[in-house]
């Protein structure tokens, strides 16, 4: 476990002990099979215990894990004949969003998604998965193209948020996001969104207006980063742990709120532990979702998507006091 997180340390510790003991047994030609078995059992239990009871803050760390599979990892595993398409035709090509056409089990689909890097160099190239307006405009261009050719759209969402920079503001970050929200609402093809890691506010939602929305088990979706919330609430970004709890950002919370359609299970320890397995469970969800949405007409899809978002909000109607 080269990239272990803080809460994973006890596991790493135990794993080291088991390895040492095994080596010792081999060297000294001792039969420690029973002891090793007990330890392995203990390891399994500890592992189960830790990953079954992750705190929101710990889930957030998994969601942001540097080794977390990215959109391109899933594209490689889920789609054949994939062709990446670039550019917004207005200003440039944003490397923080990738998109293109491929086949999912034989069916041509359009895929768009945020793209993070796995190391510093890659992350700088990808701007840490934080898009500029041209990224959202590229995504919209590809989605409109999908509509023209009656292809379903699959969105992979994983971003800390839209990039807060001067150039982004000059080119209309707000407008780009807003336009995507409106236009996605009126596309006459199935849209399936999967939040694979970080669902960072408006920058995530701009690819998130789907007929079906899923989250990976340890993914998060939030109106503001826990750090940002902590800074605003308690004037202290180091209270992020507390904010992660208060803001209710886990897939389980969001599912309970009725905002998403399902949670995609992750391999034990998180998606990065077994990308192939993760891709397979995503494929299962896509298969089911595409079959269901494939039976609907364009008008039905638009109406279903509208009703889905129309219904979100928690309020009550107070009787007006007499004048």
Partner 1 sequence: MLKDFFPKKRKYATLPQEAPQPTAGGKKEIPEGLMVKCDACGTIMYAKELANNLKVCKGCDYHFPMSASERLGAVLDKGTFVEWDVGLRTADPLGFPGYEEKMSDIMAKTGLTEAVVTGFGRVGGWPVAVGVMDSRFIMGSMGSVVGEKVTRAIERAHQQRLPLILFSASGGARMQEGIFSLMQMAKTSAALARFQGAGGLFISVFTNPTTGGVSASFSSLGDINLAEPGALIGFAGRRIIEQTIRQKLPEDFQTAEFLLAHGQLDAVVHRKHLRDMLINLLDLHQVQGAGAAFNEETETKEAFHG
Binding interface with partner 1 (CB under 8 A): 162-166, 168-175, 177-179, 181-183, 185-186, 201-202, 205-206, 208-209, 221-224, 229, 232-233, 246-249, 253-254, 257, 259, 305-306, 309-310, 312-323
Longest Cα–Cα distance of the chain, Å, equals: 92
Measured distance CA(60)–CA(220) in Å, rounded: 6
Encoded tokens for 175: 């407008």
Q: Nearest approach, Cβ of 254 to partner 1 (angstroms)?
A: 6
C-beta of 101 vs 260, nearer to partner 1: 260
C-beta of 118 vs 248, nearer to partner 1: 248
Q: Nearest approach, Cβ of 256 to partner 1 (angstroms)?
A: 10
Q: Within a 13 Å sphere around the CA of 228, how many CA atoms are in the beta-carbon half?
A: 10
Measured distance CA(208)–CA(161) in Å, rounded: 13
Q: Nearest approach, Cβ of 115 to partner 1 (angstroms)?
A: 19
Q: Nearest approach, Cβ of 188 to partner 1 (angstroms)?
A: 12
Measured distance CA(283)–CA(310) in Å, rounded: 28
C-beta of 69 vs 210, nearer to partner 1: 210
Encoded tokens for 316: 């009550």
Distances (CA, A) of 315 to 203, 253, 264, 311: 25, 18, 29, 11
C-beta of 1 vs 167, nearer to partner 1: 167
Q: Nearest approach, Cβ of 316 to partner 1 (angstroms)?
A: 6
Task: Give the chain's length.
Answer: 323
C-beta of 69 vs 133, nearer to partner 1: 133
| Angle, vertex CA 117, rays to CA 91 and CA 137, nearest 5 | 25
Q: Nearest approach, Cβ of 22 to partner 1 (angstroms)?
A: 46
| Angle, vertex CA 155, rays to CA 152 and CA 156, nearest 5 | 145
Q: Nearest approach, Cβ of 113 to partner 1 (angstroms)?
A: 18
Phi first, then psi, for residue 172 (nearest 5°) are: 90, 55
C-beta of 55 vs 105, nearer to partner 1: 55
Encoded tokens for 306: 């509208």
C-beta of 81 vs 320, nearer to partner 1: 320
At residue 304, the 3 state secondary structure works out as: helix
């Amino acid at each position: 476990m080269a990239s272990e997180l803080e809460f994973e340390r006890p596991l790493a510790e135990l794993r080291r002990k088991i390895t040492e003991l095994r080596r010792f047994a081999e060297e000294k030609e001792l039969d420690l099979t029973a002891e090793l078995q007990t330890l392995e059992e203990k390891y399994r239990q500890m592992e189960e215990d830790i990953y079954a009871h992750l705190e929101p803050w710990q889930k957030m760390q998994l969601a942001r894990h540097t080794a977390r599979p990215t959109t391109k990892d899933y594209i490689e595993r889920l789609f054949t004949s994939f062709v990446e398409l670039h550019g917004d035709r207005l200003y440039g090509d944003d490397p923080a969003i990738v998109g293109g056409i491929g086949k999912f089990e034989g069916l041509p689909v359009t895929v768009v998604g945020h793209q993070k890097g796995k190391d510093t160099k890659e992350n700088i190239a990808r701007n840490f998965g934080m898009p500029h307006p041209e990224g959202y405009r590229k995504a919209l261009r590809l989605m409109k193209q999908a509509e023209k050719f009656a292809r379903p759209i699959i969105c992979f969402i994983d971003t800390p948020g839209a990039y807060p920079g001067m150039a982004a503001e000059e080119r209309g970050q707000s407008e780009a996001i807003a336009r995507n929200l409106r236009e996605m609402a009126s596309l006459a093809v199935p849209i399936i969104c999967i939040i694979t890691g970080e669902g960072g506010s408006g920058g995530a939602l701009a690819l998130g207006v789907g007929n079906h929305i899923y989250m990976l088990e340890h993914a998060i979706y939030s109106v503001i980063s826990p750090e940002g919330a902590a800074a605003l609430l308690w004037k202290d970004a180091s209270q992020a742990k507390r904010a992660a709890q208060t803001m209710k950002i886990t897939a389980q919370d969001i599912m309970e709120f009725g905002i998403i359609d399902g949670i995609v299970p992750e391999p034990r320890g998180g998606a990065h532990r077994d990308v192939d397995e993760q891709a397979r469970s995503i494929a299962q969800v896509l298969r089911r979702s595409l079959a269901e949405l494939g039976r609907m007409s364009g008008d039905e899809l638009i109406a279903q998507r509208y009703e889905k978002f129309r219904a979100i909000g928690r309020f009550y109607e107070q009787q007006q006091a007499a004048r």
